[in-house]
Structure 1
Amino acid sequence: MIVDQLSENAEILLDIAEEKPIKDFDKYVNAACAIIKNSKPQYSIGIYGEWGTGKTTMMKGIQKKIKPNDKLVTVWFDAWRYENEEYHAAIPLLKKIAYSIDDNKSDFLSIREKLLTSTRIIGKNILSGIISKYISELDIDRIENELNQKISVLTKHEKNTIYFDGLEEIIKEMKDDSEKKIVIFIDDLDRCSPEKTIQILESTKAFLDIPGFVFVIGLSHDTTAVLIENKYKANNVNGKEYIKKIIQVPFHIQKWNESDTKDLIKHMATKLVLYYKTIVEDENTINKLILTLEKTPEK
């Protein structure tokens, strides 16, 4: 009986980032870290890959390697956790950045306060928009115009960019200390609805003119491009070109080939019970497992 063969070290394998991945991510992690450390921050890095290819693992590796210090703050934003937020995705994103700044980060405390102030301003405006649903059509148009002034275009040349009061002050403060960096990792966009995915991407555009801010975004490039094109179909927006405006440095994670999958199965077996380890030592069994994985639809 299988239960009789379980070892005392048996464990459940969860769908979380691997701390020591078998796929060779080292060169990508090192390259991304070098860019973050050595380049003038004011850009976004894209980690492109389909579901299950290791985007989270690579991003966790980058975060671990760059090591936060007095002049560098890292922020981890699990996008899907805010899927059901009533307000625009900009609010939880700004709050997450602010609350990731600890009290001992004295050089960033004023930035934290400005970010929190910005969330209150946006929240108040969007709340007005929600209330307007129950008012007359004329009032809705009036409030919408006010919202467009508050949450307007950063450059006045691009539409759909989140903007908020206090941004100029943050820009000035970050310019005054060029060593300060805030690196924001946005993960699990794949799990978000199309609407929320686009909201998050558009929220990051507000930071593109702020020195010191770096975004590392994990996403399925082709899927996201299609979402954008569907969203702005009336304007004939090219999804891939749209993404290029947000993400300047792309890293593409290739799909796992048969050899990668075999290595993964063997690696997993060492973390499971001895019974399963014995099974996967058989090449025929491994090949059957690979076929099963290939037929399993992604979620």
Structure 2
Amino acid sequence: MNKEERVKYLKDKIQELNDRIDQITYDRGENPLDEDIQEDEVHYNELDELGRDLSGFEQELREIEYNEEEEFRREELRNLIHREGYIIRDKESTSDLLSRLEHAQEIGKLLSNKQTLTPLTLGIYGNWGEGKSTFLGLIENELGNINKKIEDDREEEIKYNKTHVVRFDASEYNDQDKIWYSMLSRLFAKYEEEVGSLAKVKYGLYMLKKSFNENKLNYIINFSLLALFLIWIFVYSKDKSILEVITENDVIINILGLVSTFTVATNIVLPIIKKLKFLTKPMSDNLISQLKYPDYKDLLGTREKVKENLEVLIRAWTKRSGDKIVILVDELDRCSEETIVEFFEALQLFLPVESIIHVIAINEETVCFALANNNFHYFDKEFVPNSEKLAFGKNYLEKYITIPYYLPYENSYKQYINHLLSDNSSNDYFRVFTEVEKEILIKIIIDISENQHITPREMKKIINLLLLSKERIININKKKEKGIIVKFEEHLSWFLLKYFYPDTSNQVINYLKKYYRYNKYKKFKEISSNLLYSKGFNENPKAEQVKKLFEYIEELRVDYILISNKISETLIVTKK
């Protein structure tokens, strides 16, 4: 009997046995009051024997189908194009992949609107990996677009202010002794970048004007002495030797000449030389050299020095045009708790200054805990619950954040996933995931996101882990001359179940291992009903959520699941 004949024979026997079992079950159901115990026992023994025979035939048929499937899979493997993977970097994107562009445009227009008064602080709230940096980038792009429209359209110029955007990465200055002048230094660097060679001159003129207004008497005295110096040089000392100057001029005139010479040298000439040296360096470097003291917080006047430089800069940059300065602060929640607190203390210098708008990206929980932990004297007990710390932090932030804005969540990720897995190449070799694999991934992620939030950063992490999995599967399959061949789309389905529901996946694996001898060659759908009613499964609070994902693995055979699980265990740290 060849294989085809044997398969037909097995299917016929299985059908025959099933028919007989159904008939006996039906007959017993039709006569529920039959009290013939002996006849009932005969039916029971017959059903038991039929069940054993049926199980044996089904097992043999599954084994044949399994072997045929392996041969088919091996042929597929031989024809498979190997698409090597690459790691996706976790960096800010310049594209709107999370349907947030409209939100950024709305914010940009409100910030630029001439009716929006400054100073103003907007907080962009979101979890780690939520895409806050990318969102700040979208706001920056929108402000740039508005600036271009202002140049070309008179109506836009009437409606909007021009904005000067300054990006400040707080994590680059994770040192509380630098945070104040680091922010101011970044402003000076941006100012000089935009204004160019005239930046120092323009700023210097405003500083001179401010200095003159504050020290008019000193300027009058210095200019008077300068006049005396010029008179002494060009009237009383012209064409005369030193001896003639001493002998021919009155003592009073010579004394005034010497005093004026010394004053001009120290108060005018030397400062000019220093200014010329100042012009050879970037303004931001000079600023740091002016402000960087060993213990500047203990030195009187340092805060006033920072405020003075800031106010003069803003006047030089925006006074005539009425422009706004938008400071985009990123990565604050990556700083130490001390730096976070120091940052908000530094804001006290910046917040009262007109023309400045702060847009600060914040992980609210992290910042709130930092503020609470560094203000422990406000609490009257040793142990403070997290809920109280959060409440304190939120109240603290309200003093600084004019408008809190919470990033909208993305539940689909279809566009985002397609972008991450595509490099716009026309060559199939570089498309690491096939369209089928991407479709499965997107469907499962959409189902999972109905019950739990996935951040953009976590989505990148998942895809990178899947890329590593794919490489592992390809290498494992290549080495096998015989044995189980696992397809990546099958592994993908199991991997996601294990990643998001580790407890439930462990229950599945324990069940499969415990009853492996009875379920070998079976598909998951053939045993899932027994698993669902196994001890402790439905006690899992996430049991209902995970049942939906069983649809994606119902065609997987037990062996495929066990191998896929072994591969997954090398990449997944248990996720609670």
User: Which TM-score tier does this pair reach, normalised by the shorter chain?
Assistant: 0.7 to 0.9
CA contact (8 A) 1:170 1:210 kept: no
CA contact (8 A) 2:118 2:355 kept: yes
Count, aligned residues: 266
Bigger mean CA deviation after superposition, 12-21 or 225-234: 12-21
In structure 1, distance between residues paired with 2:337 and 2:501: 26
Which residue in 2 is equivalent to 1:275?
432
CA 1:290–1:82: 2 relative to 1, 3 Å = farther
Residues 65-96 of structure 1: CA deviation (Å, up to 9, x unaligned):
1115795321111111222x473311221111
CA contact (8 A) 1:49 1:255 kept: no
Q: Note the C-alpha offset of 1:118.
A: 5.8
Paired residue secondary structure (1:62):
helix
CA 1:180–1:290: 2 relative to 1, 3 Å = farther
Which residue in 2 is equivalent to 1:35?
110
Q: Note the C-alpha offset of 1:128.
A: 3.8
In structure 2, distance between residues paired with 1:6 and 1:53: 30
Which residue in 2 is equivalent to 1:81?
172
Which residue in 1 is equivalent to 2:395?
241
In structure 1, distance between residues paired with 2:373 and 2:290: 30
Matched, 1:62 2:139: yes
Q: TM-score, normalised by structure 1?
A: 0.73
In structure 2, distance between residues paired with 1:199 and 1:245: 15
In structure 1, distance between residues paired with 2:186 and 2:501: 37
Which residue in 2 is equivalent to 1:251?
405
CA contact (8 A) 1:280 1:286 kept: no
In structure 1, distance between residues paired with 2:95 and 2:364: 25
Bigger mean CA deviation after superposition, 60-69 or 33-42: 60-69
CA RMSD of aligned residues (A): 3.7
In structure 2, distance between residues paired with 1:100 and 1:51: 28
In structure 2, distance between residues paired with 1:167 and 1:239: 28
CA 1:128–1:80: 2 relative to 1, 3 Å = closer
Paired residue secondary structure (1:275):
coil
CA 1:185–1:288: 2 relative to 1, 3 Å = same
Amino acid at match of 2:98: K
Bigger mean CA deviation after superposition, 173-182 or 53-62: 173-182
Structure with greater proportional helix content: 2
In structure 2, distance between residues paired with 1:241 and 1:178: 36
Residues 263-292 of structure 1: CA deviation (Å, up to 9, x unaligned):
533432224942324423224636844763
After superposition, residues 214-229 of structure 1 pair within 5 angstroms as: 214-229=357-372
Matched, 1:189 2:332: yes
Matched, 1:123 2:292: yes
Which residue in 1 is equivalent to 2:303?
151
Amino acid at match of 2:433: Y
Which residue in 2 is equivalent to 1:102?
192
CA contact (8 A) 1:122 1:151 kept: no
Structure with greater proportional strand content: 1
Q: Note the C-alpha offset of 1:175.
A: 7.8
Matched, 1:264 2:416: yes
CA contact (8 A) 1:94 1:119 kept: no
Residues 239-262 of structure 1: CA deviation (Å, up to 9, x unaligned):
1122122111221014544x33x5
Matched, 1:208 2:415: no
In structure 1, distance between residues paired with 2:89 and 2:111: 30
CA 1:167–1:92: 2 relative to 1, 3 Å = closer
In structure 1, distance between residues paired with 2:120 and 2:497: 39
Paired residue secondary structure (2:327):
strand
CA contact (8 A) 1:270 1:277 kept: no
Q: Which runs of 5+ in 2 are unaligned?
A: 1-76, 152-161, 208-282, 380-388, 425-429, 445-491, 503-572
Amino acid at match of 2:421: A
CA 1:288–1:195: 2 relative to 1, 3 Å = same
Bigger mean CA deviation after superposition, 34-43 or 198-207: 198-207
Which residue in 2 is equivalent to 1:133?
none
Matched, 1:292 2:499: yes
In structure 1, distance between residues paired with 2:302 and 2:307: 6
CA contact (8 A) 2:184 2:310 kept: no
Q: Note the C-alpha offset of 1:229.
A: 1.0
Amino acid at match of 1:244: E
Q: Percent identity?
A: 21
Q: Note the C-alpha offset of 1:63.
A: 0.5
Which residue in 2 is equivalent to 1:93?
183
Which residue in 2 is equivalent to 1:137?
none
Q: Which runs of 5+ in 1 are unaligned?
A: 130-142, 153-161
Amino acid at match of 1:179: G
CA 1:175–1:254: 2 relative to 1, 3 Å = closer
Which residue in 2 is equivalent to 1:155?
none
In structure 1, distance between residues paired with 2:314 and 2:88: 44
CA 1:15–1:212: 2 relative to 1, 3 Å = same
Residues 24-49 of structure 1: CA deviation (Å, up to 9, x unaligned):
11222012101211112311111110
Higher relative contact order (CA 8 A, sep 6+): 1
